[in-house]
Amino acid sequence: MKILSHAHSYSTLAAVASVAFIAACVAHEAVGHGGMCLALGGRITLLTSVYFRCTNGGPLTDAAGPLMNLIVGASCWLLARRRPVASWSRLFFVLAMAFNLFWGAGYFIFSAATNTGDWAFVLRDLSLEPRWLWRVLMGTLGAVLYVWSTRAVASLVPPGTPLAWPYLVAGVVSCVAALFYVGPTLPALREAVRESFESAAGLLFLAFLGSNRARVSPPPSLMVRSNGWLLFSALVTILFFLVLGRGYGVTGHG
């Protein structure tokens, strides 16, 4: 896959990717976990870009994070299909779809393989047995969803888009946000890596596939810098670092 040849396109692609990843993070932690916690009458005691804790936690609150990613990802899939192929808005919805779907699907696989994380907490809270069978089913579901998500992203991403670049940008944004956390840094960084570099590995897979196919030039409209996207992304990313990165609360785990 041919990388974008105009320098300005890289800056705008980075801006779009940053907002797309932040949308997935907010959907998971704040809207999903946080919204369900409040809906059940709980009180949020810890909310950051990588951690969440609620006084009224339970299986619904645990499941709400990855489920919200799947809901938002599916919504972005529908919206992307309605946007012009060669537009920054379509690329935003495609990347937001990718980060959300990969996060939501990947969490099934992660919890099945490690017996930790949101879905493992759901199995524990509901006392579902035999645990090994539920983990196998959960991992299988996650794998199916992840494969479908990868194909969906591949079918909608504008030709010539260097997907390794938004993958890298999302990882950097996630890790930098974790550095703002006022608690222990290394555990927060590990969570940030899982939420970005690990969960969005599908983008690297698609980038690798593209590099082995015929070179395709990106649409001219994606080779022009968008000052609007640059400004909007700068504001959103700074707020993300200072608000959700630093977070509410100083101890706990997600």
Express each pLDDT in 187-239 by its tens digit. 999 999 999 999 999 999 999 886 555 455 566 656 678 899 999 999 999 99
pTM above 0.85, yes or no: yes
Q: Is residue 254 part of a domain?
A: no
Express each pLDDT in 44-64 by its tens digit. 999 999 999 999 889 999 999
Q: Is residue 98 part of a domain?
A: yes
Express each pLDDT in 80-127 by its tens digit. 998 877 789 999 999 999 999 999 999 999 999 999 999 999 999 998
* Top-confidence residue, 192 or 248: 192
Handedness of CA 88, 89, 90, 92 (dihedral sign): positive
Q: Is residue 129 part of a domain?
A: yes
Q: What is the distance in angstroms between the CA of the first residue and the CA of the last residue of the chain?
A: 37
Q: Is residue 253 part of a domain?
A: no
Q: Is residue 250 part of a domain?
A: no
Average pLDDT (19-27) is: 98
Q: Is residue 2 part of a domain?
A: no
Q: What is the pLDDT of residue 224?
A: 76
Q: Is residue 1 part of a domain?
A: no
Q: Is residue 14 part of a domain?
A: yes
Q: What is the pLDDT of residue 138?
A: 96
pLDDT classification of 161: cutoffs 50, 70, 90: confident
Give the domain extent around 134: 7-245
**Number of folded domains that form the chain:** 1
Q: What is the pLDDT of residue 214?
A: 45
Q: Are 38 and 29 in contact (CB under 8 A)?
A: no
Tell whether omega for the bond before 166 is within 30 degrees of 0, i.e. cis.
no
DSSP string of the chain, one letter each residue: -PPP-SHHHHHHHHHHHHHHHHHHHIIIIIIIIIHHHHHTT--EEEE-SS-EEETT--HHHHHHHHHHHHHHHHHHHHHHTTS-SSSHHHHHHHHHHHHHHHHHHHHHHHHHHHS-SHHHHHHHHHT-SSHHHHHHHHHHHHHHHHHHHHHHHHHHSPTT--THHHHHHHHHHHHHHHHT-SS-HHHHHHHHHIIIIITTHHHHHHHHHHHTS---PPPGGGSS--HHHHHHHHHHHHHIIIIIIT-B-SS---
pLDDT classification of 2: cutoffs 50, 70, 90: very low
